[in-house]
Homo-oligomer: A and B are copies of this chain.
Amino acid sequence: MTRKIIIDTDPGQDDALAILLAFASPELEILGITAVAGNVPLALTEVNARKICELAGRPDAKVFAGADRPLMRPLITAEHVHGKTGLDGPDLPEPEMPLQKQHAVDFIIETLRNEESGSVTLCALGPLTNIAHVLIRAPELAPRISEIVLMGGGFFEGGNITPTAEFNIYVDPQAAQVVLQSGVPVVILPLDVTHKALTTAKRVDRFRAMGTKSGDASVALLEFFERFDEEKYGRDGGPLHDPNVIAYVLKPALYGGRYCNVTVDASNELTLGMTIADWWGVTDRPKNAFYIRDVDDEGFFDLLFERVARLP
């Protein structure tokens, strides 16, 4: 039996790998891919999402454009990490498949209404703006969502866009608050775990060895993407954030975490967008998220290789 997912994304090289992993996994039925502004503006992320579908040999997939800005703040982007297009690295052709006419938020709402309650999982790979729109506009749908598995935040590692904040949460902290307060089961894959899944040279080589279009594109994506982190951290390879979301949905046993309270600070500039995980349970704030801190990184990459190798 397959699991129905919607992928909400702002591609992004690591988003691309996550989407490839999902397409290559027969356990998953991708109901739609919803683009959001994040790493680059919406006009680019929705095009990038379609490029990746075509790369995966899936021009039949449905891609929707969603919010072009955070709920309450101006958009901040990350071209310094992802390049001008957001998908710098491989040379992918302009997509021929169309963008869906429906707004991403309307698509998610309609899908949650029409599919069996509890059957749809939202996989969030970018700022949580689209998903917050859904929860603000149609709060009655919250109990129909199976779970929200998201890449975002960071507590023990600190942040990557400010000393305390991770990019996806910092871009739209209010959206993150809406998600965390929604009552929907939330699984968080923060920097604390993605920094344990590094794209070493040896791992990049395994993509190269596939000898497929997707394998070659993966190499180009990773070689561009890790550049920034290698300079910053001075280590071999960078963290591969977003594919962890799909890997968690496929094989939760690869991961270790704890159910605890997670709060987003939206009150002062020093700590704006910080995710505060009460990992040790020292406050009386209620547990509202499963916060993942550990990963079997070999297992994660094995899964990724095995699956991406199935693609054209």
Binding site for B on A (CB under 8 A): 69, 71-72, 105, 133, 136-137, 139, 155-158, 161-164, 174, 177-178, 181, 232, 263, 265-271, 274, 276-280, 282-283
Contact = CB atoms under 8 A, between A and B. Distances in A.
A160 B278 CA distance: 11
A197 to B, nearest CB: 18
Given A69-B139, A133-B136, A270-B263, A276 B156 contact: no
Number of copies of this chain that the complex holds: 4
B139 A283 contact: no
Given A267-B267, A270-B271, 5 more contacts: A72-B174, A72-B178, A156-B157, A158-B277, A163-B277
A154 to B, nearest CB: 10
A136 B158 CA distance: 31
14 contacts: A69-B139, A72-B174, A72-B178, A105-B137, A133-B136, A156-B158, A158-B280, A161-B282, A163-B279, A163-B280, A164-B276, A265-B268, A265-B271, A267-B268
Contact of A266 (B137, B156, B266, B277): B266
4 residue pairs, one from A and one from B, having the closest CB atoms: A267-B267, A271-B271, A163-B278, A267-B268
Contact of A270 (B136, B267, B280): B267
Contacts of A174: 72, 174
Contact of A181 (B72, B162, B178, B232): B72
Contacts of A136: 71, 133, 136
